[in-house]
Amino acid sequence: MAPGPDDLNELGKRLDETQKRHAVANQRPPPSQLGIAGRFATELVAALVVGGGLGWGLDWLLGYFGFRTRPVFLVIFFVLGAAAGIRNVMSAAGEINAAQAAARDDKEN
């Protein structure tokens, strides 16, 4: 027996209610100030470590083959890592600001 239009309308209403309940339950609280500071520090330190590590690795590898480059690549890649870290922090700050603005708009409506 095929469901009637009333049955389908009732099913649609129940699905909408269930989706609203799940949307409210899945909302994450806004990040704390400590969480934001931790994310910024992690972004910056990770970029510095990767940049410095790549530079050190290149200097070591080229030194192994007889080229004396120390510490040219270490300095270059450390500076590039710092630039990448600052860029990542600015991007993260933009994401957090957008999320907080959206949450503020939701509360006002």
Q: Average pLDDT of each block of 10 consecutive residues along the chain (109 residues)? A: 80 90 76 94 97 96 90 97 98 93 80
Angle at the Cα of 65 from the Cα atoms of 64 and 68, rounded to 5 degrees = 75
Domains in the chain, number: 1
Torsion of CA 81, 86, 89, 91, to 10 degrees: -100
Is 7 a domain residue?
A: no
Cis peptide before 30 (omega within 30 of 0): no
Residue 1 pLDDT: 60
Residue 14 pLDDT: 93
Is 55 a domain residue?
A: yes
Helix (H) or strand (E) holding 90: helix 72-108
Is 43 a domain residue?
A: yes
Residue 107: DSSP 8-state: H
Is 44 a domain residue?
A: yes
Residue 83 pLDDT: 98
Residue 91 pLDDT: 97
Is 84 a domain residue?
A: yes
Cα–Cα distances (Å) from 99 to 13, 28, 38, 71, 77, in that order, read: 29, 11, 17, 42, 32
- Domain that includes residue 64, residue range: 33-108
Is 67 a domain residue?
A: yes
77/61 Cα distance (integer angstroms): 15
Is 19 a domain residue?
A: no
Residue 29: DSSP 8-state: P
Is 70 a domain residue?
A: yes
